[in-house]
Structure 1
């Protein structure tokens, strides 16, 4: 299964690059992830629990980074074993490009599964993989740049009954990763 997409993130390429190599950010962004350890040079180990159709499994796997072009591109490869449920392996080529609004993040993902998971059929697996990729990159974008505009605008409604005028501070919200490195 293969897929690709592009995201425009309202943050400098250096911030996006630092976030994509940070194990705490990865843990927060990977759906179902309970643990990420390791580092950029040696690779990461992760534990992820997911339910795909009727099959629920905890995958333990390794993630390695290769073909690193500092601040611009990285190839992420991983393989996880889910015991009797089977295995999942794949990779992503992630590229960063500076744009006036911040950073354009492009990715191409390839994933394969085996064991009981493979018996579910390609339609279920492809839909699940697309959902997981979308959720990861949505969480990643929020972690780096903060909540989307509709969430930032909500405090205006809440501020109507609040004489303290807290909406100015809420409009300045940043993603947790951006606050961490600022």
Structure 2
């Protein structure tokens, strides 16, 4: 599976870059993350529980960061195993560029799944991956700028309708 997209984040590139290297921020932003530990230098270990179609599993895996260019770019490679559900592995190149409203974050993902997950079909997997990415960036935006409602941007207002799940994911508990 390959996926590319761009997201506008209402924070400067240095803030976004630092957030992407912080285990506590990653745990708060990755949907289903139970635990994220480690450092950018040594890599991260994560435990994430997700349901993809009829398959629900807890994936445990490692994430390695490389090609780090401070406040501009990083490469993420990772692999997670979910027991009988299968595995997921892949990587992403993330670039950050200053924009009028903060940072334009671009990413290119290349991932593979195996086991029961692979049997679900590419349409389900691709849709799930897009949903996970959208949730991650919505969570990141909320973490970095908790009250973006004053932007007055029509596009941001339109996205508000998609955030019914948002209060459940980011509850202050």
Fold match by TM threshold 0.5: yes
Counterpart of 1:8?
8
Q: Secondary structure at the match of 1:41?
A: coil
Q: Deviations over 1:47-99 (max 9, x none)?
A: 00011111111100000001111110000111000001100011111101112
Instruction: With the length of structure 1 as denominator, give the TM-score of the two structures.
Output: 0.80
Structure exhibiting the larger radius of gyration computed from Cα positions? 1
Structure 2 unmatched runs, 5+: 153-173
Aligned residues: 153
Counterpart of 2:91?
91
Counterpart of 2:116?
116
Q: Secondary structure at the match of 1:26?
A: helix
Q: Deviations over 1:25-55 (max 9, x none)?
A: 0000100000000000000000000111111
Instruction: With the length of structure 2 as denominator, give the TM-score of the two structures.
Output: 0.84
Counterpart of 1:173?
none
Aligned pairs (5 A) from 1:32-111: 32-111=32-111
* Runs (4+) off by over 6 Å: none
1: CA distance between counterparts of 2:151 and 2:34? 27
Aligned pairs (5 A) from 1:145-164: 145-149=145-149
Counterpart of 1:159?
none
RMSD over equivalenced CA pairs, Å: 1.8
1: CA distance between counterparts of 2:112 and 2:148? 32
